[in-house]
Structure 1
Amino acid sequence: MSKTKSVVSQGTKKEIFSLQIAPGRILKGEDCLKNAGAEIARWGKRPMVVGGDNTLKMVDGYLEGFFKEYGLKPCYDSYAPDCCETSLARLEKGLKSHGADFVIGVGGGKALDMAKLLAFKAGLPVVTIPTSGATCAAWSALSNIYSEEGAFLYDVSLRSCPDLLILDYGLIASAPSHTLIAGVGDAIAKWYEASISSGNSSATLTIAAVQQARVLRDILFQKTESAVAHPLREDWKEVVDATVLLAGVSGGLGGANCRTVAAHAVHNALTHLSSSHHNLHGAKVSYGILVQLRLEEMLDNNKLAATSRQQLIKFYKTLGLPCTLEDLGLGKITLEELRRCAQIACQPESDIHRLPFTVKPESLMAAMVSTTFV
């Protein structure tokens, strides 16, 4: 929920809030992308398709047929080396050179974030086509910006959610299973973060957002193990819907009142270690949830947090989600690297300060190395 300019009504200033709740239209189904030409062609004639190098090669077979059928003239470009400012500047030049009238983002979170931001800055429509269930980036009105080396820098709030989201189950199923597992780790964080960042708010939509996050958590607890074992069956589709779609609902309804907290702050800090880059976003976030719960135990004497942490650890172990720095491949992290991460996560603008108690780097370091403490 973002503030817009105050307006004067009968001599009194009143705040107006805007919500970016959901994409304008969603198509979902097995192999639905091949039949989505008419929906995509509604947005223009000269699309710019943005994705990673490998993804662009893979999806060409999906897109080429209806591009020809509907007379679309596409250009393709990669967001490499990362979803960063230099890539954005280069893509903006390509967008103008092609005379693009809308943007199609294809791929994982960074590809979709870049496509959304590119379209937003140019004032163009955007279509998002996720190729895995790893994040809700295909849904959200937000783009995360990284350095060329992959370190998180800042996020950008967008004017609206994507104009069209195409969730093709067949395309998602072609991704490695660990991408969906990472998506579960990212999505389940909605409950643990939104339930704290919302405070004791009595606002109707904030309450709805938090309850949606709880429903999301329960679905993932109940169905993920079966889903991972049986791709394209009903439980699998429901978990994909949860990670890509339902995870976006909570943030859309709650807006600024349901922001990320310590779990994502820890993720953001870890991206500053090149040794963490082999881990997907959701893997680092899932570890960050355990760190957040450990902080709640240590600094707020929250007994429920201890129970929740042990419940999550059991759940993680059935899926292979990381519980420790060692599980993230960071078992040899130096004390200086750990301190640097903690300092980044505790910077004044960090979302970790949405916790209802003060967190200092020393406390965070202790929590990061004791996530499986009993």
Structure 2
Amino acid sequence: MLSASPCQLDLAIPAPGRLYRGSGVLEAVPLTVLGSRVLVIGGERSLAVVEAPLQRNFARDPALQVHWTTYGVDCSESELARLQALATAESVTGILGVGGGKALDTAKLVAHRLRIPVVTVPTSAATCAAWSALSNIYSNSGAFQRDVSLDRAPAALILDYELILQAPARTLVAGIGDALAKWYESSVSSGSSEDALVIGAVQQARVLRDLLLQQSVAALREPGGTAWKQVVDACICLAGIVGGMGGAKCRTVAAHAVHNGLTHLSGHRATLHGEKVAFGILAQLRLEEILQGSQLALAARTQLLTFYRQVGLPLNLRDLKLGHLGSADLLHAAQVACQPGSDIHHLPFPVSPEALLVALTTTDLTSSSPVLPRL
């Protein structure tokens, strides 16, 4: 008689329940999944952009009760507590998250904690937060604290190109940087996995990288055009698929760890999430050169330096408005990025804060250099 073996739960949350995509779709999409009492959470600018189409949408159901609120500046525990209390007091049955990454992370996490559905409406293509079952928590000063895995993706994602067109071009550039990291990180974090979904996710990340390298310049040149829509879809949807389908095996590595460390520095708010992540990709590749003597990493970084110049992504700390900081400050950021449990340790070699400090200060070095000793 065969003995029963314990079941190992392997949770993957590939996608939102529904994806509505097109120009002007926000006012037409059914929102019945949110129930009869809806809380709309977003930033002030984002709420102003969506107010008219959402009001037309809501007007189709006179019995619907809608409450509007801003989320503050960061997805912080104090803001989460305030919004959760508000939602509870109003007996909210569903949440509509509107805005950029932090607004959507906030809306998703409040809904997660209250066990009610959430629908996401991105107003820029700066991140894949509208897609993912993940939220990042920050301090009130914007310093990264931790990420939280959610037990479900949004009930629906409403991708209205007319909203994205109103966002500054810089947000799309940042989204390109954030989405590029999917390849450079998932190809490392996936290891030699034999899981078909992980293999598919990594290949999706490769397709995503190639699409961005090929179409981003044209997308930025002609907002609203075919290439622009492809890049918007790539930053929001294809990037989300990689993490959703690959699960824990296709998560962040050094590029996002560098971002997390940089948020602990004074002046970090001068740049966007995806700009810091894009810089982090260069730092990750530089670590491979420094600690492993990888010529492939040098070639990849050289390619990215050319591409970054074309689209306006940061090449170095000066471009991040952090060039004035001294070694002590930068070492602190490196220590945060290398703390126990950090995703930087998904790299297949040990990384010390001192080695990362070297990488952070030489991301735009354009020629090979001697391999430094492990520090």
Shorter chain as denominator, the TM-score bin is over 0.9
Q: For residue 60 of structure 1, what is the amino acid of its counterpart?
A: E
Partners in 2 of 1:61 and 1:137 — Cα distance? 23
Give the structure 1 partner of residue 49 of structure 2: 58
Out of 17, 21, 34, the position equivalent to 2:10 is 17
The question of 1:195 aligning with 2:187 is answered yes
The question of 1:160 aligning with 2:152 is answered yes
State the Cα distance separating 1:180 from its structure 2 match: 0.4
State the Cα distance separating 1:341 from its structure 2 match: 0.4
Partners in 1 of 2:328 and 2:290 — Cα distance? 22
Out of 235, 250, 254, the position equivalent to 1:243 is 235
Aligned pairs for 1:291-306 (under 5 A) are: 291-306=283-298
The question of 1:215 aligning with 2:207 is answered yes
TM-score (norm 2): 0.95
Q: CA offsets per residue over residues 123-178 of structure 1, 9 Å max, x none?
A: 10100000001000000000000000100000100001100000000100000001
Give the structure 1 partner of residue 221 of structure 2: 229
Partners in 1 of 2:19 and 2:5 — Cα distance? 40
Aligned pairs for 1:30-45 (under 5 A) are: 30-36=23-29, 39-45=30-36
Partners in 1 of 2:200 and 2:3 — Cα distance? 32
State the Cα distance separating 1:12 from its structure 2 match: 1.7
Matched-pair contact (CA < 8 Å) for 2:26–2:57: no
Matched-pair contact (CA < 8 Å) for 2:189–2:252: yes
State the Cα distance separating 1:69 from its structure 2 match: 1.7
2:34 counterpart SS class: coil
Partners in 1 of 2:23 and 2:268 — Cα distance? 34
Q: CA offsets per residue over residues 260-303 of structure 1, 9 Å max, x none?
A: 00000000000111311121100000000000000001111211
Matched-pair contact (CA < 8 Å) for 2:75–2:105: yes
Matched-pair contact (CA < 8 Å) for 1:41–1:70: no
Identity %: 52
Matched-pair contact (CA < 8 Å) for 1:48–1:100: yes
Give the structure 1 partner of residue 83 of structure 2: 91
Give the structure 1 partner of residue 350 of structure 2: 358
Q: For residue 20 of structure 1, what is the amino acid of its counterpart?
A: I
2:36 counterpart SS class: coil
Q: For residue 199 of structure 1, what is the amino acid of its counterpart?
A: G
Out of 36, 41, 47, the position equivalent to 2:38 is 47
Out of 127, 135, 138, the position equivalent to 1:143 is 135
2:264 counterpart SS class: coil
Structure 1 stretches lacking a partner, 5+ long: 1-8
1:11 counterpart SS class: coil
State the Cα distance separating 1:53 from its structure 2 match: 2.0
Q: For residue 21 of structure 1, what is the amino acid of its counterpart?
A: P
Q: For residue 182 of structure 1, what is the amino acid of its counterpart?
A: A
Partners in 2 of 1:129 and 1:12 — Cα distance? 43
Partners in 2 of 1:10 and 1:116 — Cα distance? 41
Matched-pair contact (CA < 8 Å) for 1:136–1:248: yes
Matched-pair contact (CA < 8 Å) for 2:49–2:163: no
The question of 1:204 aligning with 2:167 is answered no
Partners in 2 of 1:97 and 1:183 — Cα distance? 36
Partners in 2 of 1:58 and 1:132 — Cα distance? 11
The question of 1:367 aligning with 2:359 is answered yes
Give the structure 2 partner of residue 3 of structure 1: none
State the Cα distance separating 1:10 from its structure 2 match: 3.8
The question of 1:134 aligning with 2:129 is answered no
State the Cα distance separating 1:81 from its structure 2 match: 3.7
Give the structure 2 partner of residue 257 of structure 1: 249
Give the structure 2 partner of residue 6 of structure 1: none
Q: CA offsets per residue over residues 97-116 of structure 1, 9 Å max, x none?
A: 11110000000000000000
State the Cα distance separating 1:50 from its structure 2 match: 0.5
Partners in 1 of 2:33 and 2:325 — Cα distance? 51
How many residues of Structure 1 are paired with residues of Structure 2 in the alignment?
Answer: 364
The question of 1:110 aligning with 2:102 is answered yes
2:267 counterpart SS class: helix
Matched-pair contact (CA < 8 Å) for 2:33–2:117: no
Pick which of 40-49 and 183-192 moved more.
Answer: 40-49
State the Cα distance separating 1:200 from its structure 2 match: 1.3
TM-score (norm 1): 0.96
Q: For residue 138 of structure 2, what is the amino acid of its counterpart?
A: Y
Matched-pair contact (CA < 8 Å) for 2:122–2:159: yes
State the Cα distance separating 1:41 from its structure 2 match: 2.6
Q: For residue 257 of structure 1, what is the amino acid of its counterpart?
A: K
Pick which of 357-366 and 61-70 moved more.
Answer: 61-70
Matched-pair contact (CA < 8 Å) for 2:27–2:57: yes
Partners in 2 of 1:230 and 1:126 — Cα distance? 32
Q: CA offsets per residue over residues 7-49 of structure 1, 9 Å max, x none?
A: xx9432231212111000000001111211xx21343111100
1:194 counterpart SS class: helix
Structure 2 stretches lacking a partner, 5+ long: 368-375
State the Cα distance separating 1:259 from its structure 2 match: 1.2
Partners in 2 of 1:298 and 1:105 — Cα distance? 42
State the Cα distance separating 1:64 from its structure 2 match: 1.0
Partners in 2 of 1:10 and 1:119 — Cα distance? 41
Q: For residue 259 of structure 2, what is the amino acid of its counterpart?
A: H
Out of 311, 315, 330, the position equivalent to 1:323 is 315
Q: Would you identify which runs of 4 or more consecutive aligned residues in structure 1 move more than 3 Å?
A: none
Partners in 2 of 1:349 and 1:209 — Cα distance? 23
